[in-house]
Chain A
Amino acid sequence: MLRLLGRKLLALIPVLFLVTFATTALPDLVDGSPVAQMLGPGSTPQDLKDLEHEFGYDKSLPVRYVTWVGNALTGDLGESLKTRTSVMDGIAERFPVTLELAVFALLMALIVAVPLGVWTAAKAGGRVDRVIGGVSSGLLSIPTFVSVFILVYFFANPKMMLAFKPTGWEYISVDFAKNIEFAFLPALALALAEIPQFQRLLRSDMLATLQEDFILTARSKGLSTPYVLFRHALRPSSFSLLTVSGLTLGRLIGGTVIVESYFAIPGLGQGMYQAINGKDIPVVQGTVVVIALIYVLLNTLVDIGYSLIDPRVRAR
């Protein structure tokens, strides 16, 4: 396990290098100075020069990169060009929000998709399978920016049955119940997009597992069908689901822009979107590094998950 972890951390180095170097090189790739927007009306070229000097944009790319890495290693990701506040603090504030949203959404998706996947596999070709298959195709073809409207109409409408909060946020550390009220709809919107693929993935892997001899053995013991499905067939069928869950969690943390913007949630995605729009290079840089780290971490967790699911992986 430790060696696995060590290998993963080594693999992290080239990934981080590429990601950070590319973001440091961004100002050289786009027109105009990144600090130009900070200047008020009536500023002189000299003011621009001064600001560029202050933020180090007058230096060459290699020098800027080494400086940035050096600072990053001490936990200093620089200052936002817009707010002149610490990038690190900004991320520390936004990251827990996005993480909660992503985990909440993933759990919701799994809780719905796993029983559906098992059920449709057990009844493959039957009416239940066809109906759920149809609904899931439908869901798959509804983009998130459409489903958020539908969700808000039905679940955040005082005239309808349920009234969740349509926009805004409350931190989980402040008020848990309120937090759920705000987080439920955005998490559901994110989950809806994942449920169909989770269900299909599990269904097809499960179908393959149900052909295995050891399922016959289990059935010949007189065990009930649900027992055979959930205790014998589910675990060997969940490899792809685990892989995709890991990737999905990473993707949700890195890219919940639409949902965060629509529901006005102060998360990483929204922050990133604003930073890109405002050419706020240090914020983009810092956020990207954090997301890359999360991705690699999740991949490692998935690998550890494999060995939990299947003892044969442990032996290798």
Chain B
Amino acid sequence: MAEPTTTGSPTPDEPLLRAEDLRVHLDTPRGLLKAVDGVSFAIERGETLGLVGESGSGKSMLVRSLMGICPSIARIRGSVRLDGRELVGVPRKEARTIWGNRIAMVFQDPMTSLNPVLRIDRQLTESMRLHLGLGKKEANERAIELLTLVGIPEPLKRSRSYPHQLSGGMRQRVTIAMALACDPDVLIADEATTALDVTVQRQILDLLQEIQAERGMGMILVSHDLGVVAGRTDQIAVMYAGRMVEHSPTADLFAHRRHRYTEALLGAVPRLDVPREQRPRAIPGSPPDLITLASGCAFAARCGAADDLCRAQRPELGEDLGTHRFACHHPVGTDAPAGADAASGDGADEKPSLMKETPA
């Protein structure tokens, strides 16, 4: 479908969605919580970014900051540009014309993300009437089209239903239809299949992928499960403690994972194709407190390869988007230092690395 041209003038080499040094800091009673701390990425049309991390890694807060639905204590800094148009720091009234219109989001739990007291058609049409200025009749017709598109049988009847009359999978299809209502340029799926059972999960993911390919949307797939994003993304960013620790084209990441945390994350995925004895390994310990974060690598306390350097100095992620970036002093593939005394760098690989690999 043809997209209406954007207000402002997109420069030719400007990606569809670009975040630069995005920070979401929360003013909590205990102190400043850096939920997202300096994240950069870029998505082109038709491209999918997988955002992976444990709960509390900041991935949800990151996408929420793109949608203007952070808690009121959140301070958002840095830059997010959609087709060159800045979204951070603009008046809420102006940003509201983007949210739900050009960037839309599918939430985690379809059982709770639909308003229980409003009919499906009301919830589907309100953003169309607001953003596209459609009349009631046109909006209703479009709602039926959308329900058909997302594979809901008897769309006319379903549009007059209340959420509780639909199954979980159907409801998630409805929320996807809702997100698609204004034909967005960017679709964010925040753990959109986590609450569904496995077969439905697959159907929904396939549906998302299909629609994305059809419309050439940019997409962000948030998940705690590397398996979910593996075959469905063009680039993957692994988040830990509010920062990206590894960011790379998808094929590259799985072929040569470099960050110790990514490695641990992959080791924690249950697999059928490995011998029984090789059980999934849980990552020892738990994510750090983001308020009292020390100066070194946030993963150091849980990392088998950590040494004094890791604890003292935070490894930097490269700035070259599109390459394989990782923030690790002792990336996978180099020998981990034997003890804490083997701290000082003895190889090029131990430096904050900006290793370039051919993009997929």
- Find A216's partner among B69, B164, B165 (CB 8 Å cutoff): B69
Residue interface mask B10-35, A partner, CB < 8 A = 1? 00000000000000000000000000
CB distance from B167 to the nearest CB of A (A): 15
Among the interface residues B67, B107, B112, B113, which one has the most CB atoms of the partner chain A within 10 A? B113
A71 located at the interface, meaning its Cβ lies under 8 Å from any Cβ of chain B in the complex:
no
Contact flags A113-143 to B (C-beta < 8 A → 1, else 0): 0000000000000000000000000000000
CB within 8 Å for A236 and B115 given contacts A216-B69, A222-B99: yes
Question: Considering the chains assembled together, what is the distance between the CA atoms of A212 and B101 in angstroms?
Answer: 22
For residue B178, CB closer than 8 A to chain A, the reply is yes
Q: Are A214 and B130 in contact (CB under 8 A)?
A: no
Chain B nearest Cβ from A310, distance in angstroms? 5
A217 at the interface (CB under 8 A from B): yes
Pairwise interchain contact A222-B131, C-beta atoms closer than 8 A: yes
Secondary structure of the A contact surface, majority rule: helix
Contact A236 B99, CB 8 Å, known A216-B107, A217-B178 = no
Q: Does A12 contact B (CB under 8 A)?
A: no
Q: Which of B127-162 contact A (CB under 8 A)?
A: 127, 130-131, 162
A residues less than 8 Å from B116 (CB atoms): 214, 236, 310-312
The reply to whether B109 and A222 form a contact with Cβ atoms under 8 Å apart is: no
Measured CA separation A23–B259 after assembly (Å): 83
A311 to B109 Cα, complex, angstroms: 20
A221→B97 CA distance, assembly (Å): 9
| A222 x B97 contact (CB < 8 A) | yes
Contacts of A223 in B (CB 8 A): 96, 100, 126-127, 130
Q: What residues on A are CB-neighbors of B115 within 8 Å? A: 214, 217-218, 232, 236
Establish whether residues B117 and A311, one from each chain, have CB atoms under 8 Å apart when the complex forms: yes
Specify the main secondary structure of chain B where it touches its partner.
loop
The distance from the CB of A246 to the nearest CB of chain B, in whole angstroms, is 19
Chain B residue at smallest Cβ distance from A236: B117
| Chain A residue contacts of B80, Cβ below 8 A | none
- A236 to B164 alpha-carbon distance, docked (Å): 14
Alpha-carbon distance A106/B68, docked complex (angstroms): 38
Give A195 to B174 CA distance when docked, in angstroms: 39
Which of A213, A217, A220 has the most chain B CB within a 10 Å cutoff? A220
Interface string of B196-225 (1 = CB under 8 A from A): 000000000000000000000000000000
Scan residues 193-231 of chain A and give those whose CB is less than 8 A from a CB of chain B: 212-214, 216-224, 231
In angstroms, Cα B117 to Cα A315, docked, is: 12
Which listed residue, A213, A221, A232, A312, touches B99 by the CB 8 Å rule? A221
CA distance A216 to B67 in the complex (A): 10
B side interface size, CB within 8 A = 31
Asked if A235 CB lies within 8 Å of chain B CBs, one says: yes
Question: Cβ of A244: which chain B residues have Cβ within 8 Å of it?
Answer: none
CB nearest to A215 among chain B residues: B115
* Cα-based distance from A214 to B107 in the complex (angstroms): 9
Pairwise interchain contact B105-A220, C-beta atoms closer than 8 A: yes
The answer for the CA separation of A221 and B117 in the assembled complex, in Å, is 17
A310: chain B residues within 8 A (beta carbon): 116-117
Report whether B112 and A213 are in contact in the complex, using a CB–CB cutoff of 8 Å.
Answer: yes
A residues less than 8 Å from B131 (CB atoms): 222
Q: What is the bound-complex CA distance between A236 and B107, given in angstroms?
A: 20
Chain B 80-111, CB-CB to A under 8 Å as 1, else 0, gives 00000000000000001111110011011100
Bin the interface of chain A by size. Answer: 20 to 34
Tell me the bound Cα distance from A312 to B118 in angstroms. Answer: 11
CB <8 Å contact, B164 and A315: yes
Contact present for A222 and B100 (CB under 8 Å) = yes
Contact B127 A221 (CB under 8 A): yes
* B interface footprint on A21-64 (CB within 8 Å = 1, 0 otherwise): 00000000000000000000000000000000000000000000
- Kindly state whether residue A103 has any CB partner on chain B within 8 Å: no
A311: which B residues are within 8 A, CB to CB?
A: 116-117, 162, 164
Residues of A within 8 A of B96 (CB): 222-224
**A213-B113, A312-B164, A315-B164 are contacts. A220–B69 as well, Cβ < 8 Å?**
yes
**Closest CB of chain A to B92's CB: distance in Å?**
9
Smallest CB–CB gap between A308 and chain B, Å? 10
B228 interfacial contact with A, CB 8 Å: no
Q: Which residues of A contact B97 (CB under 8 A)?
A: 222
Interchain CB contact under 8 A, B67 and A214: no
CB distance from A312 to the nearest CB of B (A): 5
Residues of chain B within 8 A (CB-CB) of A232 are 115, 118
* Separation of A315 and B166 alpha carbons in the complex (Å): 13
Q: Any chain B CB within 8 A of the CB of A91?
A: no
Q: Which residue of the partner chain, among B104, B109, B126, contacts A213 with CB atoms under 8 Å?
A: B109
Q: Smallest CB-CB separation from A312: which chain B residue?
A: B164
Q: When chains A and B are docked, how far (Å) is the Cα of A49 from the Cα of B108? A: 81
CA distance in complex: A11, B126 (Å): 43
Q: Nearest residue in A to B161 (C-beta to C-beta)?
A: A311
Residues in B with CB closer than 8 Å to A213 are 107-109, 112-113
Chain B residues lying within 8 Å of A309, measured Cβ to Cβ, are: 117
In chain A, what residue has the closest Cβ to B165? Answer: A315
Contact B114 A222 (CB under 8 A): no
- With both beta carbons as reference points, the residue of chain A lying nearest to B175 in the complex is identified as A217
Kindly list chain B residues whose C-beta atoms are within 8 Å of the C-beta of A218: 115
Output the least CB separation between B74 and chain A (Å).
13
In the assembly, what is the distance between CA of A224 and CA of B115, in Å?
A: 16
In the complex the two chains form, is A220's CB within 8 Å of B117's CB?
no
Q: How distant is the Cα of A311 from the Cα of B166 in the complex, in angstroms? A: 13
Which residues of B, 13-69, contact A by the 8 Å Cβ criterion? Answer: 64, 67-69
16 sample A-B contacts, Cβ–Cβ < 8 Å, listed by A number = A213-B113, A216-B69, A219-B69, A220-B99, A220-B105, A221-B100, A221-B178, A222-B68, A222-B98, A223-B96, A232-B118, A236-B117, A309-B117, A310-B117, A312-B164, A315-B164
* Besides the known contacts A219-B68, A220-B104, A222-B131, 20 further A-B residue pairs in the complex with CB atoms under 8 A apart: A213-B107, A213-B109, A214-B115, A214-B116, A216-B69, A217-B175, A219-B67, A219-B99, A220-B67, A220-B68, A221-B99, A221-B100, A221-B126, A222-B101, A223-B127, A224-B96, A310-B117, A312-B116, A312-B162, A312-B164
Interface residues of B (CB under 8 A from A): 64, 67-69, 96-101, 104-105, 107-109, 112-118, 126-127, 130-131, 162, 164-165, 175, 178
Interface residues of A (CB under 8 A from B): 212-214, 216-224, 231-232, 235-236, 309-312, 315
